Structure 1
Amino acid sequence: MSQGPGRWRSAGRTQRGQARLRNEDAFLDCPQHGCWAVADGMGGHRHGNVASRWVVSSLASVSARGNLDQRIDAVRKSLQSVNQRLRSCRAGPDTSADAIMGSTVVALLLESGRAACLWAGDSRCYLWRGQRLYQLSRDHSLLQGLMNEGQVSATQARAYPGARALTRAIGARSPLHLEVLELSTRPGDVFLLCSDGLYQALSHADLVRALRLGAPQQAVERLFAEALRGAARDDLTAVVVQP
């Protein structure tokens, strides 16, 4: 478990999925800078493990100085730079989806009494507050887009061909469009950042049982214990933060 200077406690873990040759997830646990992130290399694409690590390394180098607005701007610039770097790594004339070198990202920034969640793709940020679980981020995927349009049910959207295809990711398009959500923090809040491999392996009730434990290390251990009861075919990554 990591702890910031008298303020934030956090813990993180990642594990290769049973159907994976390598772990394409990466995470950042940096309470001393009030910054945490999860990145998931785009499955089926080239060097997803490299892409996710570039994303995390870039965020780790962002300065902790400045107010929250300035830090959000610094993260935007950092990830725009990674986006251009990943796009420049395409080899040859291949423009197919599998030629993309990319990654999802979800990041959390904290300062006293304030939080910001930034994301692109389908890695998620959850908030446990007042005995309720909230999903703060909304997936950038064809599935979520169909649901947003309100013309199909969640069940119908999941059956749609290619429904899990991403509509945003680091390295996919230029310029990069990050979504940002800002909120005030409250005593007792617990944040969860995770890759799709983790939340797809767990039910809403599983997430609740883990996050209501409060202590980040215990929550992470509970999340992985529950996820590993199943097939755990995809990579699993979680970061739990207690302001």
Structure 2
Amino acid sequence: MFQPENPDTSNNLGTDVLEKGYLLHERYRIERFLEVKHGANIYRATDEVTNFIVILKEKLSPNYVPRTNSLNVTDRNDKNLKANPWYDEFAILRSVTYPTVVKVVDIFTEESKYYLVIEQLEGNDLKYFLTKNKINPQQSCDWMIQLCQSLSQLHRRNIVHLDLQPRYIVVTKDLQRIRLTGFDSAWQVPIENMINESISVYSSPELRIGHKDIDQRSDIYSLGAIWHEMLTGYQASKQDLEDKWFCFPEVVEFHPSINPQINRIIAKMLSLSPDKRFNSIDELKLSVLELFSSVLYNVGYCTDVGVEREANEDSFSVQNKRYISQTKQLNYGIFIVADGMGGAKAGEYASALATQEVSSYINHYFEDLNVKKFQDSELLTVMEQSVKRANTIIYQESKENKQYSGMGTTITASLIYEGQLFISHVGDSRAYLINNLGIEKISRDHSLVGRLLEIGQITPEEAAVHPQRNLIYRSLGGFPAVEVEVYQLPMRSNDYLLLCSDGLYEHVKDEEIQKIVLSVKDPSQACRHLVNLANLRGGDDNSTVVIVKIDEIS
């Protein structure tokens, strides 16, 4: 055993610490002592069964009284489990399985001491980032949405966290994901006879004064205090909070050019009265998501017939839609690339008809501005049906008009709405997502060569020179019905969406595409650069490129 510095001697722990290398429960090997928190020793340990790093909590609480409204853990046969002072935290974490919530590993008793084991989260806590700099509005909104999703999983089970603060929010190294931990003080509502040891500068007024009616809105207040600090760097002092009428200064006082909606949302979260806050975490999440509807897209496009072709059978559509009224703001973008086939006039007509019909179908869906919220599942269905409808029209036209007989087209159609990207796709045109982390090909090529690559029969180098590399097995117009692939993924600030016909990627490698897009930065210039490069390398087909950059929330 060794003596930690500045030990907390409550519950007689903190002065009697397990030494490095000690094996607990024939499974957990102590690496080092971390801290004393609320009368518990906290350790970093290795789980020798999984070889994962875990956090191990140790407590001596012979006088622990179980809560009357504790959750039940049905997969444990230990009759004395509820006597373990870690039981409530264990039961809460066991009831919530969500990627952004810390996972519980084990609970046990050994030598009259009680232990809880949770996973070690990788990354730095939010407190670390707040000591470095303020967080920009875009990043703060991204993290707030994830925190709302985490808390929603708790609140729908009538669980409140009650100790939200930056040290319990862990940010991954790539800054893309957050994880929530610190569930020592979590309760299931209604709360009875609560003794809260975790009052902090982020605690709600009703929690600070010991009000008996505590609910999910207390977490909303704490989240507001954290968001406020992210943007302003301001942290209330304990002296401030001794005044029960203390109000945070408005964000706009620190950040004059902040989006007024952000200022209003945070002010509502920090209302002294719970009745004036958002009624639920899901209502708050919707308000944050609406911020993304005000984000503009920086769009570039370029199409060229190429070196060898006489006609350009590619078509594209770029529509950045923005509706604003006193009561509603709606912003979405439709971006499409199609590559026609069947002869010059027929191919050109097929691709143009496809882009026209798909964009018309999507726009029609958005015409009702009274709809408060479009669901993701609905939008995926809209994207799929828009392409199927275009297929029907092209097929009928080819049968009724001899000059268009045999015409067809590929299509890669995209919709950007409230930070989400929806794609419907048929053929071998492509959609890429590009950012500093890399380039991701979202769509799947419906071509012979693409299929051979998927099953590993040819290499990318062989595919580039394959004599049948232009042969596709799925397109619009060939049959009365068509199978449409749909995709959905989030788009963040400074992400680029790139749509293109095969005339580009047959001559320019994915890594080159990423390098040019990120180095040139301006979407219009990047499109021209890519098309010119394809022509320099042969230009044996039409080339079309559309690039959409997501600007930041400010």
Distance 2:465 2:523 in 1: 35
- 2:483 is aligned, of 158, 165, 177, to 177
Q: Which has the larger radius of gyration?
A: 2
For the residue of structure 2 that corresponds to 1:77, the secondary structure is helix
Post-superposition CA distance 1:107-136 (Å, at most 9, x none)? 111112211222100000111122411111
Distance 1:123 1:104 in 2: 6
Report the counterpart of residue 273 of structure 2 in structure 1.
none
Distance 1:200 1:152 in 2: 16
The alignment status of 1:228 with 2:535, answered yes or no, reads yes
Distance 2:340 2:485 in 1: 18
- Kept after mapping to 2: 8 A contact 1:9/1:31: no
Distance 1:43 1:231 in 2: 22
- 1:15 is aligned, of 287, 300, 304, to 304
List alignment gaps of at least 5 residues for structure 2. 1-292, 322-331, 367-373
- 2:496 is aligned, of 190, 204, 228, to 190
TM-score (norm 2): 0.40
Distance 1:15 1:211 in 2: 18
Instruction: Note the aligned Cα RMSD (angstroms).
Output: 2.5
- 1:59 is aligned, of 358, 362, 371, to 358
List alignment gaps of at least 5 residues for structure 1. none
- Kept after mapping to 2: 8 A contact 1:46/1:100: no
For the residue of structure 1 that corresponds to 2:536, the secondary structure is coil
- Kept after mapping to 1: 8 A contact 2:306/2:535: no
- 1:199 is aligned, of 505, 511, 520, to 505
Q: 1:226 to 1:236 in 2, by over 3 A?
A: same
Higher relative contact order (CA 8 A, sep 6+): 1
For the residue of structure 1 that corresponds to 2:410, the secondary structure is strand
- 2:472 is aligned, of 166, 190, 213, to 166
Report the counterpart of residue 38 of structure 1 in structure 2.
337
Report the counterpart of residue 218 of structure 1 in structure 2.
525
Report the counterpart of residue 547 of structure 2 in structure 1.
240
Q: How does 1:92-111 map to 2 (within 5 A)?
A: 99-111=405-417
Shift of 1:171: 0.9
Distance 2:385 2:318 in 1: 20
Q: Tell me the matched-pair count.
A: 236
- Kept after mapping to 1: 8 A contact 2:387/2:424: no
Could you tell me the percent identity over the aligned residues?
Answer: 29
Report the counterpart of residue 394 of structure 2 in structure 1.
86
Distance 2:515 2:464 in 1: 26
Post-superposition CA distance 1:112-165 (Å, at most 9, x none)? 221122210000011112241111111001111122223444455567663431
Question: In the alignment, residue 494 of structure 2 is paired with which amino acid?
Answer: G
Shift of 1:99: 4.8
- Kept after mapping to 1: 8 A contact 2:439/2:511: no
Report the counterpart of residue 69 of structure 1 in structure 2.
377
Question: In the alignment, residue 346 of structure 2 is paired with which amino acid?
Answer: H
Distance 1:91 1:60 in 2: 23
